[in-house]
Structure 1
Amino acid sequence: MSSIAKAFAKSKLASLPPESPLYEEEDDSSSASSMSSTGTVRPTSSQRPAPVVSWSDYYAQELYLEHQSADGNAKFHVYLTPPASFKAPLLVLHHGAGSSAMSFALCALEIRKMYPEAGILAVEARDHGSVVYGPTGDVNNDLSIHVLSRDMIDMLELTAAKMGWPELPTIVLIGHSLGGAVVTDAAKQGYLGNKLLGYAVLDVVEGSAMEALKHMQAYLGTRPKMFPSLEAAIEWHIRSRTLRNPQSARASVPSLLFQTPSGSWAWRTDLSSTEAYWENWFGGMSSKFLTAKGAKLLLLAGTDRLDKELTIGQMQGKFQLQVFPAAGHFLQEDLPEKTAEAIVEFVKRNDRSTLILPPKVGDLLKQGKKV
């Protein structure tokens, strides 16, 4: 059973009144432990988390990139920590549905600790922080997979132009959930040519994703629609086990919400309204993942997520697989250090610029050496 389906099964407790013994006895392992019958969460004073943190604790720059085309105008939102040199790789991070670039905040920081030369570009999709307008000026929230992958490439190229880079560095694409589908599609489309070193997909495969979609609307219906404060929203994510790392929750949750005129906080992205795109996101993903050019890494929170096509591919050695059973779906938030370690090891193993090649025979002869 997928993580979403499990959460849906547990969510039956959400309908219980707060005074119910079952409600009180449910511990933090339940995805419904903090849901009240009114759809809001009010943590006790002893449970209130520390204040939220700033993006600048994790990334060097915040960029808004203007893009004009015949299809309309865009204002893309990204966070950037530039690579130390043109020889160092740039890791492009794409979040999942309903999430944001800040979901990679702690992981990005750990990557930089382990690999200081590497750069980080964390992008935000349209309707998730970036805004795209059609020719008539209306907001265009087309979330088709090919559109999202092209948006990501546009953000990468606009960043390179803004920073004055003479060419793109070596690129590693990393995506969580929907982001995994986006980076896989971009790799399959061949947008980056030989600049693409490889791509990593975090906790999503076609088979389990398509199965989970059957329960998605019911699952979304169990989430609180409003929070009285950011602190309450952070607390809900922790107590519901949506996120298992309080430090990451403080970094990422505020970016998921906006404040209403009444002062409460609501979800920035209406996931229910994206249903028309769900099958488009994940349909055919396994085949694209296995056949696109580039080194491949799949990080999962459980082996039960592997579908038949990927199981066969893994047995044939077509990609690297690591499983983090202690993590939830947001494994880069729950275990940022372990996720970063796996990513850095993957990049260094496949980075051609770091390979030490034997000297050429002709060069040895010119040096008067015997061969």
Structure 2
Amino acid sequence: MSDLQMQFAKAKLAGLPAIVPPVLNEAEEDTDHFDTGPPRDDDSSSASSASSTGTVIPSSDQKLFARSQGTPSKRTLNQIPWTTYFEREIFLESTTGEVTVRHHAYLTSPVGTAPLFVTHHGAGSAGLSFAVLTAEIRKLLPTAGILSLDARGHGSTTTSPEPETIDLSLITLSADLVSVVENTKIQMGWKEMPPLVLIGHSLGGAVVTDVAKSGKFGSSVLGYAVLDVVEGSAIDALQSMQTYLSTRPSGFATLESGIEWHIRSRTIRNSLSARTSVPALLSFNDETKPSRPWSWRTNLGATQPFWEGWFVGLSKKFLEARGGKLLILAGTDRLDTELTIGQMQGKYSLQVFPEAGHFVHEDLPEKTAMVVVDFYKRNDRSTLVLPPKVSDLLRAGRKV
């Protein structure tokens, strides 16, 4: 090689980097966002690596073959505030004898002639159990109103003076629901009661059915929906209730660990709903149990004297009450004989979500909302066009 060629080659090599960078596949360029969820059979990153034609040279700090962690990070377990779902929270006092109950509820007011969906949670739960569901309802029906209460002894509802045993009989809970709706109308200054759709889960299903059967809201009730509770199976389940209560934790070290337990145990299968509803089920007290300061607000074991009274006669009342009827279950095995016959006779609408757990509205809020909104639309009397009366036709001189 001549001197001229040598000088030319040195000038070219001087402009090149000392180490040639590795060739990266497009799918593997972003290494800052690893999936921290449980391993999946159809891992898309593995599939893209298998089909890669480039050469990947990992750096020393990359752990390409490390197993992903199954436990979600605390960031994904943060509490979601009620303000995400409702316009306001309200407090409504009612006094019976010497006992004053300060009911707590979440409210989004209906617009115009839109309906008010009134929700009642199950035993041990709280009004925020319906938060994600109601958000989905308003996506489909933006003018709809939502009223979701905390029953006495639950959530932020308080009783004064505080009794040793809170009265959670069906007759008392039904009276509470009527009082909350009527006092909400007064406090909000509504001229008349909006069209009502009552929705109850578990114990709440028994309460809304009892209220619908009483007829205390008259023609304002368009219909009522009962979520995953049937008289026969509910009474059977009560036999093992104390066993279940003995197996769940008595408390939690942190609020996040309480949320995680509900998700891990599949009590609530939707993490978004768990992060919203679970905080209202727990209260903080580091004096009695410093290691587990987050304990249950409601002592479900103490409610045992009321269990049977909640559900006896539920199927009969459900079929006889006026208004549209909707039953949403997590499995057809929950149907008892009376409801099976009623369903065959077309006395109510039935929807089954076998992929959901007991908290069907929390596990599948989008699907539940679609069913509930469709149920409302079928029972909305404002859209009915009635034929003219014969007397009006004769008065107008038309032949009949």
- Measured against the shorter chain, the TM-score band is 0.7 to 0.9
How many Å apart are 1:153 and its aligned residue? 0.6
1:92 aligned partner, one-letter code? V
Instruction: Say yes or no: does 1:227 pair with 2:252.
Output: yes
Instruction: Say yes or no: does 1:80 pair with 2:107.
Output: yes
Work out the CA distance in 1 between the residues paired with 2:150 and 2:90.
Answer: 11
Pairs within 5 Å for 1:184-263: 184-261=209-286, 262=290
- Which residue number in structure 2 is paired with residue 175 of structure 1? 200
Which of 346, 354, 365 in structure 1 is aligned with 2:383? 354
1:127/1:320 Cα in 2 relative to 1: closer, same or farther (>3 Å)?
same
Pairs within 5 Å for 1:224-303: 224-261=249-286, 262=290, 264-303=293-332
Which of 63, 66, 80 in structure 2 is aligned with 1:53? 80
Work out the CA distance in 1 between the residues paired with 2:266 and 2:335.
Answer: 22
Instruction: Say yes or no: does 1:148 pair with 2:177.
Output: no
Question: Whose RCO is larger (CA < 8 A, sep 6+)?
Answer: 1
Work out the CA distance in 2 between the residues paired with 1:188 and 1:329.
Answer: 24
Which of 89, 93, 109 in structure 1 is aligned with 2:135? 109
1:168 aligned partner, one-letter code? M
- Which residue number in structure 2 is paired with residue 20 of structure 1? none
1:148 aligned partner, one-letter code? L
Contact 1:90 1:172 in 2 (8 A): yes
- Which residue number in structure 2 is paired with residue 12 of structure 1? none
- 5+ residue gaps, structure 2, are 1-38, 40-69
How many Å apart are 1:200 and its aligned residue? 0.4
Work out the CA distance in 2 between the residues paired with 1:297 and 1:333.
Answer: 17
1:162 aligned partner, one-letter code? Q
Contact 2:197 2:223 in 1 (8 A): yes
- Which residue number in structure 2 is paired with residue 127 of structure 1? 153
Work out the CA distance in 2 between the residues paired with 1:342 and 1:101.
Answer: 20
1:319/1:227 Cα in 2 relative to 1: closer, same or farther (>3 Å)?
same
TM-score (norm 1): 0.83
Work out the CA distance in 1 between the residues paired with 2:78 and 2:353.
Answer: 29
Contact 1:48 1:235 in 2 (8 A): no
Moved more, 185-194 or 65-74: 65-74
Work out the CA distance in 2 between the residues paired with 1:287 and 1:365.
Answer: 44
How many Å apart are 1:131 and its aligned residue? 1.9
How many Å apart are 1:368 and its aligned residue? 9.7
Work out the CA distance in 1 between the residues paired with 2:395 and 2:210.
Answer: 47
How many Å apart are 1:102 and its aligned residue? 0.6
How many Å apart are 1:68 and its aligned residue? 3.0
Work out the CA distance in 2 between the residues paired with 1:45 and 1:354.
Answer: 47
How many Å apart are 1:169 and its aligned residue? 1.0
How many Å apart are 1:124 and its aligned residue? 1.0
User: How many correspondences in the alignment?
Assistant: 327
2:204 aligned partner, one-letter code? G
Work out the CA distance in 1 between the residues paired with 2:115 and 2:98.
Answer: 31
Work out the CA distance in 1 between the residues paired with 2:208 and 2:98.
Answer: 22
| Partner SS state of residue 49, structure 1 | helix
| Partner SS state of residue 76, structure 2 | coil
Structure of higher CA gyration radius: 2
Contact 1:225 1:267 in 2 (8 A): yes
- Which residue number in structure 1 is paired with residue 91 of structure 2? 64
How many Å apart are 1:229 and its aligned residue? 0.6
Work out the CA distance in 2 between the residues paired with 1:155 and 1:208.
Answer: 29
How many Å apart are 1:67 and its aligned residue? 2.1
| Partner SS state of residue 129, structure 2 | helix
How many Å apart are 1:170 and its aligned residue? 1.2
How many Å apart are 1:196 and its aligned residue? 1.2
Work out the CA distance in 2 between the residues paired with 1:56 and 1:216.
Answer: 34
Pairs within 5 Å for 1:3-42: none
TM-score (norm 2): 0.77
Work out the CA distance in 2 between the residues paired with 1:321 and 1:357.
Answer: 27
Contact 1:131 1:139 in 2 (8 A): no
How many Å apart are 1:69 and its aligned residue? 3.9
2:369 aligned partner, one-letter code? A
Contact 2:77 2:260 in 1 (8 A): no
- The percent of aligned pairs where both chains have the same amino acid is 58
Work out the CA distance in 2 between the residues paired with 1:44 and 1:169.
Answer: 45
Which of 160, 185, 188 in structure 2 is aligned with 1:160? 185
- Which residue number in structure 2 is paired with residue 33 of structure 1? none
1:292/1:362 Cα in 2 relative to 1: closer, same or farther (>3 Å)?
closer
Work out the CA distance in 2 between the residues paired with 1:139 and 1:270.
Answer: 11
- Which residue number in structure 2 is paired with residue 9 of structure 1? none
Work out the CA distance in 1 between the residues paired with 2:90 and 2:165.
Answer: 21
